[in-house]
Amino acid sequence: MVWRLVLRRTLLGLLTLLVVSILVFFATHVLPGNAANAVLGQSATPKRVEVLEAQLELNRPVVDQYLSWLGNLLTGHLGHSLSGDTLTGGGGQPVWELISPKLVNSAILVFLSGLIGSVLGVLLGILATLRRESWFDRITSVGALTVTALPEFIVAVVLVILFATGGLQILPAVSTLPPGTYAWSEPELLVLPVATLVIVIVPYIFRMTRAAMTEALESDYVEMAKLNGVPTWRINLFHALPNIVPPVIQVIGLNFLYLAGGIVLVEFVFNYPGIGQGLVSSITQRDIPVIQVIVVILAAFYVAMNIVTDVIALLASPRRRVAR
């Protein structure tokens, strides 16, 4: 039952990714006339355009270009970056070499922020529900509504003002790493980027946990348990808590999805060497092969994350398992 659903969702996901790849390819490669001219901009000379056209294989039919691009992508041939010496005729850095350390750094950032944010959000949500209408509940609820509206780059800049340049000068304002090193070698560089993302995602997880827990505590089965004289801590722990697992997993999944996009601005603010910052700089430099690969990776993460979240939520909830 569940596995058929997993299979169906996976096939649909692959189909979605196929269409995504078409969209990405055409948006970056074909739509605006000649990509070679766009890349070279002012410095376009007939000779250079010709070299670049040959490298991008722009002189072949569009469908051919797409199919060979997709084939290369699937077999792991990601091509070469256009930045640096490519414009003078030499070969750029292989895209995979350029992206893989960034991918690792971004994964660390997303994983740490997601983990800390989820634990914090769920704990605060449960605490607020257990002390409903207390000052703690009121302050956290209004605070959550306010913080959900904050743009992540503003949160990041505020943290920089507080902890790096203004008030306390205890943390680095930028997280630049020497090339070839990973974020774990200098953990203090991770503090502010992770803190920014945690502040942005906690309110969502908090609100969902609070709503789900409130609903569970007002349910008939909790009422029944109370009438039977079950102690409050047992009710909270064994009757209410298991029932908030599916919605909470859903919202945690949604927040991991958000993080995949949220890293773009946060990595840019801190100059953190991840794929978000890589995407911004590749767009600035019109480095098409790099843009394509990063966007496809982010989309694949999105689609996979969606499936994983749905399946876990489904497995965690007996009621839903029967319903479908």
Amino acid at 134: S
Smallest separation, CB 211 to another protein (Å): 3
DSSP assignment letter at 237: I
> What does the binding site for another protein look like in residue numbers (CB under 8 A)?
12, 15-17, 19-20, 23-24, 27-28, 31-32, 35, 38, 145-146, 148-154, 157-158, 160-161, 165-166, 207-208, 210-212, 214-215, 247, 250-251, 254, 257-258, 260-262, 264-265, 268, 279-280, 283-284, 286, 288, 291, 295, 298-299, 302-303
Nearer to another protein, 183 or 299 (CB): 299
Closest alpha carbon to 216 in 196, 244, 189, 188: 244
The total number of residues written for the chain in this structure: 324
Tokens of 36: 């070679």
- Please answer whether residues 94 and 78 qualify as being in contact, where contact means their C-beta atoms are separated by less than 8 angstroms: yes
Closest distance to another protein from the beta carbon of 28 (Å)? 6
Nearer to another protein, 31 or 184 (CB): 31
Beta carbon of residue 170, minimum distance to another protein (angstroms, whole number): 15
Minimum separation from the CB atom of position 88 to another protein (A): 22
Q: Which is nearer to another protein, 190 or 303 (CB)?
A: 303
Residue closer to another protein (CB basis): 25 or 235: 25
Q: How far is the CB of 145 from another protein (least distance, A)?
A: 6
Q: Which is nearer to another protein, 11 or 184 (CB)?
A: 11
Nearer to another protein, 96 or 153 (CB): 153
Cβ 269 vs Cβ 322: under 8 Å: no
Nearest-10 Cα torsion for 218, 118, 301, 195? 140
Helices 241-270 & 95-130, crossing angle to 10 degrees? Answer: 140
Q: Contact 97/103 with Cβ under 8 angstroms?
A: no
Q: Residue 45 CB, nearest distance to another protein (Å)?
A: 20
The values of phi and psi at residue 187, to 5°, are -60, -30
